[in-house]
Amino acid sequence: EHKPLTDTATATPVLPDAQTVTEVKHYTDRLFSFKVARPQSMRFRSGEFVMIGLMGEPNPKTGKAKPLLRAYSIASPSWDEELEFYSIKVPDGPLTSRLQHITPGDQIILRPKPVGTLVHDALIPGKRLWLFATGTGFAPFASLLREPQTYEDFDEIIITHTCREVGELTYGRDLIEALKEDELLAEVIGEGFWQKIKYYPTTTREESPKMGRITDLMNSGEAFKDLGVPQPTPETDRAMICGNLAFNLELKAMLENYGLEEGANSKPAHYVVEKAFLD
Residues that bind ligand A2P (CB under 6 A): 134-135, 162-164, 204-205, 213, 215, 243-244, 246-247, 250
3-state secondary structure of 70: strand
Considering beta carbons, is residue 119 or 133 the nearer one to ligand A2P? 133
Number of Cβ within a 10 Å radius of residue 10: 11
Report in angstroms how near the CB of residue 243 gets to ligand A2P at its nearest. Answer: 6
Number of Cβ within a 10 Å radius of residue 179: 17
Report in angstroms how near the CB of residue 114 gets to ligand A2P at its nearest. Answer: 24
Considering beta carbons, is residue 134 or 143 the nearer one to ligand A2P? 134
Cβ–Cβ < 8 Å for 151, 185:
yes
Interatomic CA distance for residues 154 and 224, integer angstroms: 18
3-state secondary structure of 179: helix
Report in angstroms how near the CB of residue 275 gets to ligand A2P at its nearest. Answer: 11
Report in angstroms how near the CB of residue 247 gets to ligand A2P at its nearest. Answer: 4
Considering beta carbons, is residue 185 or 214 the nearer one to ligand A2P? 214
Considering beta carbons, is residue 84 or 168 the nearer one to ligand A2P? 168
> What is the spatial order of strands in the sheet that 156-163 belongs to?
197-203, 156-163, 128-134, 237-243, 271-275
Considering beta carbons, is residue 246 or 264 the nearer one to ligand A2P? 246
Q: What are the C-alpha distances in Å from 18 to residues 67, 105, 202, 249?
A: 11, 11, 37, 35
Report in angstroms how near the CB of residue 164 gets to ligand A2P at its nearest. Answer: 5
